[in-house]
Structure 1
Amino acid sequence: MTGSPADPPARSRPRLTVLPLIALIFYDVSGGPFGIEDSVRAGGGALLPVLGFLVLPALWSLPEALVTAELASAFPTNAGYVAWVSAAFGPAAAFLVGFTKWASGTLDNALYPVLFLDYLRSGGGLALAPPLRSLAVLVLTAALTYLNYRGLHLVGLSALALTAFSLSPFVALTVLAAPKIRPARWLAIDVGAVNLRGYFNSMFWNLNYWDKASTLAGEVEEPRKTFPKAVFGAVGLVVGAYLIPLLAGTGALPSETAAEWTDGFFSEVGQRIGGPWLRVWIQAAAAMSNMGLFEAEMSSDSFQLLGMAEMGMIPAIFARRSKHGTPTFSILCSATGVVILSFMSFQEIIEFLNFLYGLGMLVVFAAFVKLRIKNPDLPRPYRIPVGTAGAAVMCVPPVVLITTVMCLASARTVIVNAIVVAAGVALYYGVEHAKRRAWVEFLAPVPPPPDSSHGSTTASDAADVEDVRAGLLADEPADEAPPRSHSAVQMTAFTGNSETATRSLMKSEP
């Protein structure tokens, strides 16, 4: 099952443009201020979270966004960061990063049905008994998975509408809170109430996943131009969506309420500042936001699996697309993981996924620096305006933050993550064994048809880019570029036109 004549041709599928991609990146990372409430309680007041959302975007979010913009423009493939790590360190490291980051994303996605129900319950709302709550999580997951199946372009347009609606009540909240704000409340901190583990995990979770959208690069219109614009547009949107409601809420309410700031508390903030109508509006926005968060994460996770299948890392069945252009089996695999993991608590999920995500990001930053050293002439349509030394220095603050979060993890988290990593290593060797024994089918990129077009670059420029990429992925020295015909063989793995590879493979097999 490596493809189907019904698979939509790459050029006939609607492509993501700048605004839908900004919305998807926004939901990959944020989705609005829902979920930042716990940083106030864990920070013992407003001071630490306000400082966090002022400083950490520059130290953490911006470097990750810059790395994503550079490497996604250089590797416009659905494999995203898996391709970057493969180019730098080879397929074994790339597989392990892909596995841990997919597991982290699936854990992250398991949060959103839970958060949706938390917001329904907050402020005296709907509270479900445990059996009904489990059923509600299952129904929500199934419904949102089906929407994702219907098409990435539809998900992108929906994300635009959901962004506008999810942020709209906070405009009203900010306006109503303005006369009640006392700036001194932003400086409040109860040192004895500070929980550094909870604080750093909350901040880290709310500001990470910038690289997730790179797994959609193969579905983007002119990715080499579109991706950098979308990433930088999303940075401003995310920071504003966090900081403005946080300043409004903590500035308008007494500092003594810091202990009340738990998941879903923004609806209570709306109740106290504007009344029941604003509480209901925020709860509705939270519900819609969680839909967008789920859809964006599901898209990134499933297209990552598709990209890995296109590179021949996992079985070809994960590259099979539906008539809507979506990776059917990859979506089902991700949805199954969400249902299995949704029984965990909010804080457990955050700590586990942060540790897993941190492991993957350490390798991604190392791959970024190594590619700068290994092949400085790799065509990068967007290039961070610093040299190799500057690129390495830029990665120091996020690496320090990742190390801090991981050092604060509980022993249980370390053990669970060690088990996950060991499972990833075992799975890699199991997949390689299955490949050698031909137990299941794997894709191998094949030449595209003569009239195939690849993005907006000229044919010669695109060929030059693909020559370098093919050499990198084959782990060949940069000064020993393969002949042009070899580049053509590998080209489809990096342009998003995987259907050509799939159908040509089918025709060539008995």
Structure 2
Amino acid sequence: MADLKRQLGLLDSTMINVGTMIASAIFLVPSAIAQQLHASSLTILVWVVGGVVSLLGALSVSELGAAMPKSGGQYAYLTEAYSPVWGYLFGWTSGVVINPASIAAIAVAFATYLAFFVPLGMWGIKLIAVASIVALTVLNCVGVKPGTLTQNVLTLLKIGLVALLIVVGFALPGGRRENFQPVWPAVGVGSLIGPFGVAMVAALWAYDGWIEVCYVGGEVKDPGRNLPRAIILSTVIVIALFCLVTASYTYVLSPARMAQSSLVASDAAQVTLGRAGAAVVAATILVSTLGANNGIVLTAARVPYAMARGGVLPAWLGGVHPRFLTPTPSLVVQAAISIALTVWGTYDQLFTYVIFAQFLFYAMACGAVVRLRAKAPDLPRPYRTWGYPVTPLVFIAFATWLVGNTIAEQPGDSAVGVALILAGLPLYWWRRSAASALPAVQGD
């Protein structure tokens, strides 16, 4: 059976992460943050703190990526550090729910913003969303290079467009320094803890994606050097862009107007560019969502591929196209699930059910850094986490708080999410029992 080859360089790896982190959230989420924090310093500070927390996770997971540059990323890390069942539960949750639901949601967002230029009804939006999933899947089936080239072009273009929004906001008439008032709210610090926590959740979800390149760790050239560099560099780039573009929105609109806006980026652009501003933002979001989905389609399929190679999913899912050297079966199955969720419109609800699991598994990945230092001290570590052990422990604390807060605020949805995660266990036990019985059957 053919294997995946190491074809991805530092630029490819960095653009995968940047491209998946910048989707549509930064154009919309600042409004939700301004509704919680009614002062310019806090609306920007929450992006700084959220970025630092994400960077702590990135610094920690970089050690695992460099030490175990395997396809599947977290699946491999959790399997090695804890037990195969934890790796499986991550893979099941991400492969069946989180990644397909993300692909479906981003595809619908892409089609929705396309409707700004071309009138589309409900089914027209779904048809375009499905077509985009099919196109990106085919692109990534015919070779890693076409997929990564597309990712590089779209990501560099979106970086340029976000930078344009920043420059336009500060340079063209329309913005005022007075819009940064109030710099600090006229309330006690104690009363800000709750709202700041709610805003932090929104910021952390916007930063999500810093781990994406780990899923293609088995295809990165010189992974001991390039994986940590790509993870850290991409996170720093996105932190800078998110903080600067939020400052630009604030300079143009003020925190009060941001809180009242459902389309912050569009409203800010219309102030400086007039009616053309909305079209510029819609085009930016089109590029951004398409690039984000291409990155997820490319990387996420490596999780079921790695699970199949590990024997916990049917072997055919671990197949590699003999000519294109891509995990075609996993890509096709991933697309089928994503399309089904898109057509049925159930992706939002499914994602709500398991949203807490994303950071639970992130916390476990950072915990794996600590655990493997004790369990496998001789494991080659080309990169060691800066600030260890404080760096992973601080991230674990934030992730634990986020998971606990989500469960407390949404106990019903969280309970359904736990049930969805555990629903994969019967398949795991069946595969394990079948594998353990095989030698005995062959020996009879």
| Structure 1 residue aligned with 2:441 | none
Distance in 1 between residues matched to 2:295 and 2:170, nearest whole Å: 33
Q: CA deviation at 1:188?
A: 7.1
Equivalence for 1:108: 102
Of residues 34, 47, 52, the one that matches 2:46 is: 52
The match for 1:175 is: 167
Distance in structure 2 (CA, Å) of the matches to 1:189 and 1:128: 43
- Aligned with 2:9 (options 8, 12, 17): 17
| 1:178-221 deviations in Å (ceiling 9; x for gaps) | 25132524737699999778644422211223223211011111
Moved over 6 A (4+): 188-198
1:306 equivalent in structure 2: 305
- Deviation (angstroms), 1:331: 0.8
Which runs of structure 2 are paired with 1:165-314 in the superposition (5 Å)? 165-178=157-170, 180-182=175-177, 184-185=180-181, 187=183, 199-262=199-262, 264-314=263-313
Q: CA deviation at 1:136?
A: 2.3
Provide the secondary structure at the position in 2 that maps to 1:93. Answer: helix
Tell whether 2:382 aligns with 1:377: no
Partner Cα separation in structure 2 for residue 206 and residue 121 of structure 1: 23
Residues 1:377 and 1:213: Cα distance change in structure 2 (over 3 Å): same
Matched, 1:366 2:359: no
For the pair 1:417 / 2:411, whether they are aligned, the reply is no
In 1, are the aligned partners of 2:34 and 2:255 still within 8 Å (CA)?
no
Question: Contact between 2:305 and 2:327, CA under 8 Å: does it hold in 1?
Answer: yes
Checking the alignment, whether the CA contact within 8 Å between 1:101 and 1:360 is kept in structure 2 is no
User: 1: CA distance between counterparts of 2:412 and 2:143?
Assistant: 38
What's the offset of the Cα at 1:344?
4.5
Kept in 2: contact 1:25–1:231 (CA 8 A): yes
Cα distance in 1 for partners of 2:338, 2:115 equals 21
State the 1:226 CA deviation.
Answer: 0.9
The 1:392–1:277 alpha-carbon spacing in structure 2 relative to 1, beyond 3 Å, is closer
Distance in 2 separating the partners of 1:98 and 1:49: 35
Contact in 2 for aligned 1:74/1:381 (Cα 8 Å): yes
| Equivalent residue letter for 2:328 | T
Segments of 5+ residues of structure 2 without an aligned counterpart are 439-444
More helix by percentage = 2
Please list the CA deviations of residues 337-386 of structure 1 after superposition, one character each: whole Å capped at 9, or x if unmatched: 22233354886566445312123223222322211121223210101144
Superposed counterparts of 1:108-127, under 5 Å: 108-121=102-115, 126=118
Partners of 1:289 and 1:190 in 2: how far apart? 37
How high is the TM-score relative to the length of structure 1? 0.75
Q: In 2 relative to 1, CA 391–178 (structure 1 residues): closer, same or farther, beyond 3 Å?
A: closer
Is the alpha carbon distance of 1:350 and 1:196 closer, same or farther for their aligned partners in structure 2, counting shifts above 3 Å?
Answer: farther
Work out whether residues 215 and 300 of structure 1, in 8 Å CA contact, stay in contact via their aligned partners in 2: yes
Aligned-residue offset at 1:295 = 1.1
Q: SS state of the match for residue 36, structure 1?
A: helix
CA distance in 2 between counterparts of 1:30 and 1:241 reads 9
Contact 2:71-2:217 within 8 A present in 1 as well: yes
Aligned counterparts of 2:271 and 2:346: Cα–Cα separation in 1: 27
**Contact kept? 1:119, 1:267, Cα under 8 Å:** no
Q: Distance in 2 between matches of 1:63 and 1:190?
A: 32
Instruction: Summarize the Cα distance change of 1:90–1:30 in structure 2 as closer, same or farther, 3 Å threshold.
Output: same
**CA deviation map 1:466-509 (0-9, x unaligned):** xxxxxxxxxxxxxxxxxxxxxxxxxxxxxxxxxxxxxxxxxxxx
Aligned with residue 78 of structure 2, among 73, 85, 97: 85
**2:370 is aligned with what amino acid?**
V
Distance apart, 1:434 and its partner CA:
4.3
Give me the identity figure in percent. Answer: 22
- Partner of 1:187: helix, strand, or coil? coil
Give the counterpart letter for 1:288 in structure 2.
V
CA contact (8 A) 1:167 1:285 kept: no
CA offset at residue 169 of structure 1?
3.0
**Which amino acid is the alignment partner of residue 275 of structure 1?**
G
**Equivalent-residue separation in structure 2 for 1:242 and 1:148 (angstroms):** 28
Tell me how far apart the structure 1 counterparts of residues 350 and 265 of structure 2 sit (CA, whole Å).
Answer: 21
Deviation, 1:404, is: 4.6
Instruction: Decide whether aligned partners of structure 1 residues 411 and 386 sit closer, same or farther in structure 2, where only a CA change above 3 A counts.
Output: closer
Q: How far apart, in 1, do the equivalents of 2:237 and 2:158 lie?
A: 13
8 Å CA contact retained: 2:367, 2:393: no
- The amino acid across from 1:174 in the alignment is I
Whether contact under 8 Å (1:119, 1:283) holds in the other structure is yes
Cα distance in structure 1, aligned partners of 2:38 and 2:154:
30
Structure 2 residue 62 is matched with structure 1 residue 62: no
Q: Closer, same or farther in 2 for the Cα pair 1:265/1:150, shift >3 Å?
A: farther
Equivalent residue number for residue 426 of structure 2: 426
Structure 1 spans left out of the alignment, 5+ residues: 439-510
Q: Distance in 2 between matches of 1:112 and 1:98?
A: 20
2:112 and 2:236 map into 1 onto residues whose CA distance is: 28
Deviation at 1:126?
Answer: 4.6
2:147 paired residue number: 155
The CA deviation string for residues 125-180 of structure 1, in whole angstroms up to 9 with x for no partner, is 55532222222222222122212222222222222211222132333332332251
CA–CA separation in structure 2 for the residues paired with 1:242 and 1:45: 18
CA contact (8 A) 2:32 2:259 kept: no
RMSD: 3.0
Q: Which amino acid aligns with 2:51?
A: P
- What corresponds to 2:66 in structure 1? 73
Query: Once the two structures are superposed, what CA deviation does each residue of 1:89-117 show, in whole Å capped at 9, x if it has no partner?
Result: 12112111222233322222222112213
Check 1:186–1:319 CA distance in 2 against 1; reply closer, same or farther (3 A cut): farther
Quote the Cα distance in structure 2 between the aligned partners of 1:393 and 1:350.
Answer: 27
**Number of aligned pairs?**
425
Q: Distance in 2 between matches of 1:419 and 1:383?
A: 36
Conserved 8 A contact 1:73-1:380? yes
Question: Could you tell me whether the CA contact under 8 Å between 2:363 and 2:396 is conserved in 1?
Answer: no
Change (3 A) 1:362 1:265: same
